[in-house]
């Protein structure tokens, strides 16, 4: 193997730059030529490819986003699009491709390998932490830290005014950000897609809290359940006297300097991706499980189901009584 490529695909996540840096620097350290592919699979199809040097990844470990940009590509979902992508890889003599993204991006990689024999390695990068094979995805820890920073600030003003606040966090169809940020931020109520929603239970808990003299109520809501506005309306119908506000954190959760944990995981995963390609391994997804960097066959990884940490959810309920 002489030349490898790296791209970021799907939603961006803090720490992707640290992973790119690790792929480029470990690749060059091992005598490889590393090419950066701009704008995910679409950039690959459009031949937006640049040679990476040691300095092209200088001063990026601390930056959120991705210097390679990211995109979603409808064209890559077609057989013709993938054939074009494979041709471009051949033209640049790229023998191994590292894909940093979510499970959609991995499905794309799986097809590219199966149809055109491209050596692919996937690195999980998404703030949602919704990739089953790994305990943590790059970006999740930073997004949770951003969310608790916002929760802390909202809690200050909620306490001063003796208000209830709904904080809607991201996570797509998963409740990991809500659960982790909710527990770490001391939320009274956490609403996530993995647990059946019961509006009466929510209102009872708020009423109970008022009776026991709580000065604020922090309700962390995962976007996969409903919007903050919808929940606010449902609560106000039942508790019209409650002073209630809602905040949608939105895209601030996708940006910012990556946390230590995200930088370390990303660096390890990027390095492992290069090692795997040098070992002539292909169609592998890198994960972190039980604090170990591991890798699985892409078919196995994509077929895994993530067990939601209900114990953590139960703990959050106990700690917020």
What is the binding site for ligand ATP (CB under 6 A)? 9-11, 41, 72-73, 76-77, 101-105, 107-108, 111, 126, 128
Q: Which residue has the tokens 């002539």?
A: 280
Strand order in the sheet with 33-37: 49-51, 33-37, 3-8, 96-101, 119-124, 284-289, 292-297
73 among the known binding-site residues? yes
105 among the known binding-site residues? yes
275 among the known binding-site residues? no
* Bridge partner residues of 294 (DSSP): 287
- Cβ atoms 97, 120 nearer than 8 A: yes
How do strand 244-248 and strand 96-101 relate by DSSP bridges?
A: unpaired
107 among the known binding-site residues? no
Question: What's the CA gap between 288 and 180, in Å, rounded?
Answer: 18
Nearer to ligand ATP, 41 or 313 (CB): 41
Question: What's the CA gap between 107 and 116, in Å, rounded?
Answer: 14
Closest distance to ligand ATP from the beta carbon of 278 (Å): 25
Question: What's the CA gap between 116 and 114, in Å, rounded?
Answer: 6
Closest distance to ligand ATP from the beta carbon of 44 (Å): 9
Q: Which residue has the tokens 């292909």?
A: 282
Nearer to ligand ATP, 107 or 205 (CB): 107
The distance from CA 141 to its chain's CA centroid, rounded to whole angstroms, is 9
Q: Which helix (H) or strand (E) holds 264?
A: helix 260-278
Question: What's the CA gap between 299 and 129, in Å, rounded?
Answer: 19
* C-alpha torsion sign, points 76, 63, 271, 285: negative
11 among the known binding-site residues? yes
Closest distance to ligand ATP from the beta carbon of 93 (Å): 23
Closest distance to ligand ATP from the beta carbon of 103 (Å): 5
Nearer to ligand ATP, 137 or 165 (CB): 137
Active-site residue, 135 included: no
The distance from CA 15 to its chain's CA centroid, rounded to whole angstroms, is 10
Catalytic residue among 46, 47, 128, 149: 128
Closest distance to ligand ATP from the beta carbon of 107 (Å): 4
Of 267, 285, 270, nearest to 4 by C-alpha is 270
Nearer to ligand ATP, 101 or 258 (CB): 101
Nearer to ligand ATP, 41 or 180 (CB): 41
Q: Could you tell me the CA-to-CA distances from 147 to 130, 154, 249, 256, 273 in Å, in that order?
A: 17, 11, 7, 11, 30
Residues tagged in the binding site annotation for ATP: 11, 72-73, 102-105
Annotated binding site: 11, 21-25, 72-73, 102-105, 126-128, 155, 163, 170-172, 186-188, 212, 214-216, 223, 245, 251-254
Known binding residues for substrate? 126-128, 163, 170-172, 223, 245, 251-254
Active-site positions? 128
Q: Which residues are documented as binding site for Mg(2+)?
A: 103
């Amino acid at each position: 193997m002489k030349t490898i490529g790296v791209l970021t695909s799907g939603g961006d996540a803090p720490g992707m730059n640290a992973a790119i840096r690790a792929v480029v620097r470990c690749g060059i350290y091992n005598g490889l030529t590393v090419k950066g592919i701009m704008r995910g699979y679409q950039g690959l199809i459009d031949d937006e490819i640049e040679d990476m040097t040691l300095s092209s990844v200088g001063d990026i470990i601390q930056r959120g986003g991705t210097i390679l940009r990211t995109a979603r590509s409808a064209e890559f979902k077609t057989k013709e699009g993938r054939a074009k992508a494979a041709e471009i890889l051949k033209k640049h003599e790229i023998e191994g491709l590292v894909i940093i993204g979510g499970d959609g991006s991995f499905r794309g990689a799986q097809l590219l390998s199966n149809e055109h024999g491209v050596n692919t390695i996937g690195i999980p990068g998404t703030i949602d932490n919704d990739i089953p094979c790994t305990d943590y995805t790059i970006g999740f820890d930073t997004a949770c830290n951003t969310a608790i920073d916002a929760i802390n600030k909202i809690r200050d003003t909620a306490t001063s005014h003796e208000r209830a606040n709904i904080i809607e966090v991201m996570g797509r169809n998963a409740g990991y950000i809500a659960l982790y940020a909710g527990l770490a931020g001391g939320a009274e109520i956490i609403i996530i897609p993995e647990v059946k929603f019961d509006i009466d239970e929510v209102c009872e808990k708020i009423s109970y809290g008022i009776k026991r003299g709580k000065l604020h109520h922090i309700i962390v809501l995962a976007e996969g359940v409903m919007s903050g506005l919808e929940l606010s309306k449902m609560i106000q119908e039942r508790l019209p006297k409650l002073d209630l506000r809602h905040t949608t954190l939105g895209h601030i959760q996708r940006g910012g300097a990556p946390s230590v944990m995200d930088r370390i995981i990303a660096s390890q995963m990027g390095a492992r991706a290069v090692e795997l390609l040098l070992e002539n391994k292909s169609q592998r997804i890198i994960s972190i499980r039980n604090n170990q960097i591991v890798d699985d066959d892409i078919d196995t990884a994509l077929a895994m189901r993530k067990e939601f940490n209900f114990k953590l959810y139960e703990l959050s309920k106990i700690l917020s009584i």
